[in-house]
Amino acid sequence: MSFAQEPAYRHGQPPLTGVLLCNLGTPDAPTAPALRRYLAQFLSDPRVVEIPRWLWKIILHGIILRVRPAKSAAKYASIWTAEGSPLRVWTDKQAKLLQGYLGERGHRVKVAAAMRYGQPSVAAQLDALKAAGATRVLVLPLYPQYSGTTTASVIDAVGDWARRVRTLPELRFVNHYHDHPMYIDALARRISQYWMDHGRPDRLLLSFHGVPQRTLTLGDPYHCECHKTARLLADRLGLRPDQWVITFQSRFGKAPWLQPYTEPTLIELGRSGVERVDVACPGFVSDCIETLEEIAMEGRQAFLGAGGKDFHYIPCLNDQHEWIAALSALSEQHLAGWPTRETPDVGALERQRERARALGATN
**Annotated binding residues for Fe(2+):** 209, 290
Q: What is the phi/psi pair of residue 306, to 5°?
A: -90, 5
Annotated binding site: 209, 290
At 72, the amino acid letter reads: S
Contact 345, 309 (CB under 8 A): no
What is the C-alpha to C-alpha distance for residues 229 and 223, in angstroms, rounded to an integer? 10
Contact 77, 30 (CB under 8 A): yes
DSSP 302-332: HHHHTT-SEEEEPP--TT-HHHHHHHHHHHH
At 303, the amino acid letter reads: F
What is the C-alpha to C-alpha distance for residues 212 and 59, in angstroms, rounded to an integer? 18
Closest CA to 156 of 123, 178, 131, 124: 123
The beta-strand segments (E) located in 27-143 are: 109-118, 134-141
What is the C-alpha to C-alpha distance for residues 245 and 230, in angstroms, rounded to an integer? 9
Instruction: State the pairing for strand pair 170-173/16-26.
Output: unpaired
Contact 318, 116 (CB under 8 A): no
Burial class (CB in 10 A: 0-12, 13-18, 19+), 216: middle
What is the C-alpha to C-alpha distance for residues 283 and 285, in angstroms, rounded to an integer? 6
Length of the chain counted residue by residue: 363
Contact 328, 101 (CB under 8 A): yes
SS3 of 330-360: the string is HHHHHHCCCCCECCCCHHHHHHHHHHHHHHH
